[in-house]
């Protein structure tokens, strides 16, 4: 009996060991699986795992880094979860890249990105627009107006021009301090920010542009939020305020300028660069004759809906898109091209033309920035009245304090927010 009992004890111990080992293997397998899932699905607003920088031709090419096409639906699901989890556009999309004729994000790979936002006015010292270069304004535009992108317009004008007064050349420190305050505020809100060299004649003062963008790229070039706009609106070759068509700044002149400024930025940053085009950035197809040799460029179009009917520009824009370059509307207004100057053009807001432009930009996935956060007696100023009424810097959502154009932009941006891709919408 004692022998039998001893034999059974050995058997029981052996079976127990087998069961323990088997249970351990099962537990270990499950643990490895959970860890694998966690690694695969991690995608936070801080960027999550490493995402390969998209190539310039990645949109719509059907390529996949996975050897097994069966993983593609999983990638789509992971992207959807990333988009839902992000609490800001930059957290969702990351650094912007030109990819074919679209913009894409470094965190969302080949998903096209469309951004909508607002532009501050001129930064010039002593100008009415300068007082809006502060954290309070930027926060209101992001939080209440739902702007995804803020354009910070640093005023530049040659000595003797009307734009020289209070500009970068007249008061560098004042303009730089205001610009930095607005840029820092936009980055703090994790919105995109366009650092705009707001000039009509930048090609005649390359030295100042190099100085400005060298400093800005050095200090802000590592931020995913930042976009550089190197030339607002080229106008006249000789720097005059107005000229006939034959005297306007040519694409060849703009390109010579750009080829000197862009390398200065590239010493510090690979971020997206916007390049203005001839005739107040309206001849957006001009660069097709001799494109800039850089992989992260978008060409600029500006329009004012009352003056510039979409049908007059559609062919030009389509030519650029068909040539596989992105277009970026870094400034638009709903008024006449003069910005709604009183008395005759103050009420020049054109809603039907503005709606047509927005429908087209939505269709083509073209990002846009509205002009401008200001209380000047101009129709395009969001808080502009004639005669002027100084805005109280508090009533940001009070539509009775907005111009007709401002109210239109306010409503349009808030409506777009409902469908924004980073908020889980379709775009």
Closest CA to 149 of 374, 368, 400, 422: 368
- Tell me the torsion sign for CA atoms 418, 121, 352, 312: negative
206 has a pLDDT exceeding 90: yes
User: What are the sequence ranges of the domains in the chain?
Assistant: 1-42, 92-423
Predicted pLDDT at 55: 39
287 has a pLDDT exceeding 90: yes
Distance of CA 6 to the CA centre of its chain: 79
376 has a pLDDT exceeding 60: yes
| Mean pLDDT (the chain, rounded) | 85
82 has a pLDDT exceeding 90: no
Q: Encode pLDDT of 343-367 as tens digits.
A: 999 999 999 999 999 999 999 999 9
Residues that are catalytic: 233, 331
Q: Encode pLDDT of 90-113 as tens digits.
A: 999 999 999 999 999 999 888 899
Strands 96-99 and 102-105: antiparallel
What string of DSSP letters covers 258-302?
A: HHHHHHHHHTT----EEE--HHHHT-TTGGGGS--S-SSEEEEEE
Which fold would CATH assign to domain 92-423? Answer: TIM Barrel (3.20.20)
Predicted pLDDT at 263: 98
The three-class DSSP label of residue 241 is coil
18 has a pLDDT exceeding 60: no
Predicted pLDDT at 80: 63
How far, in Å, CA of 355 to CA of 322, rounded? 23
pTM of this structure: 0.82
Bond preceding residue 343 cis, omega within 30 of 0: yes
Q: Encode pLDDT of 59-73 as tens digits.
A: 333 333 333 333 344
* Neighbouring residues of 160: CB distance < 8 A, sequence distance ≥ 6: none
Give the model's confidence band at 423: pLDDT under 50 very low, under 70 low, under 90 confident, else very high: confident
How far, in Å, CA of 272 to CA of 423, rounded? 23
How far, in Å, CA of 241 to CA of 66, rounded? 55
Give the model's confidence band at 76: pLDDT under 50 very low, under 70 low, under 90 confident, else very high: low
How far, in Å, CA of 253 to CA of 243, rounded? 16
E strands, 326-415, in order: 327-333, 368-373
Give the model's confidence band at 79: pLDDT under 50 very low, under 70 low, under 90 confident, else very high: low
Straight-line distance from the first to the last Cα atom of the chain, in angstroms, rounded to the nearest whole number: 80
Residue owning tokens 């959807």: 80
- In DSSP terms, 97 is beta-bridged to 104
How far, in Å, CA of 114 to CA of 137, rounded? 23
Q: Encode pLDDT of 288-322 as tens digits.
A: 999 999 999 999 999 999 999 999 999 999 999 99
Percent of the chain with pLDDT over 90: 76
């Amino acid at each position: 009996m004692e022998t039998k009992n001893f034999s059974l004890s050995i058997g029981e111990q052996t079976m127990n060991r087998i069961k323990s080992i088997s249970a351990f293997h099962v537990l270990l397998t499950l643990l490895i699986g959970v860890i694998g899932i966690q690694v695969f699905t991690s995608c936070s607003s801080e960027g999550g795992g490493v995402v390969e920088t998209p190539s310039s031709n990645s949109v719509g090419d059907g390529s996949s880094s996975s050897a097994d096409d069966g993983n593609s639906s999983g990638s789509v699901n992971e992207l959807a979860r990333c988009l839902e989890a992000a609490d800001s556009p930059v957290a969702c999309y990351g650094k912007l890249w030109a990819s074919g004729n679209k913009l894409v994000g470094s965190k969302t790979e080949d998903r096209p990105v469309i951004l909508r936002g607002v532009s501050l006015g001129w930064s010039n010292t002593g100008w009415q627009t300068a007082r809006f270069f502060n954290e309070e304004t930027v926060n209101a535009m992001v939080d209440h107006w739902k702007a995804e992108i803020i354009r910070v317009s640093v005023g530049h004008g040659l000595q003797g021009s009307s734009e020289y007064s209070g500009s970068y050349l007249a008061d560098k420190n004042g303009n730089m301090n205001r610009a930095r305050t607005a840029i820092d505020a936009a980055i703090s809100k994790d919105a995109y920010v366009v650092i705009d060299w707001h000039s009509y004649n930048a090609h005649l003062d390359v030295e100042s542009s190099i100085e400005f963008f060298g400093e800005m790229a050095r200090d802000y070039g590592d931020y995913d939020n930042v976009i550089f706009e190197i030339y607002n609106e080229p106008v006249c070759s000789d720097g005059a305020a107005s000229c006939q068509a034959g005297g306007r700044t040519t694409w060849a002149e703009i390109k010579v300028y750009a080829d000197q400024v862009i390398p200065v930025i590239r010493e510090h940053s690979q971020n997206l660069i916007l390049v203005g085009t001839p005739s107040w950035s309206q001849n957006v197809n001009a660069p097709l004759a001799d494109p800039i040799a850089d992989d992260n460029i978008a060409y600029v179009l500006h329009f004012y809906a009352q003056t510039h009917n979409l049908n007059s520009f559609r062919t030009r824009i389509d030519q650029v898109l068909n040539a596989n370059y992105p277009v970026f509307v870094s400034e638009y207004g709903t008024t006449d091209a003069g910005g709604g100057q009183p008395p005759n053009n103050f009420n020049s807001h054109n809603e039907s033309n503005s709606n047509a432009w927005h429908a087209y930009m939505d269709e083509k996935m073209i990002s846009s920035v509205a002009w401008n956060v200001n209380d000047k007696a101009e129709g395009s100023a969001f808080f502009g009245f004639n005669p002027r009424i100084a805005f109280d810097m508090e009533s940001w959502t009070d539509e009775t304090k907005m111009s007709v154009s401002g109210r239109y932009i306010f409503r349009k941006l808030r409506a777009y927010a409902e469908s924004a891709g980073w908020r889980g919408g379709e775009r």
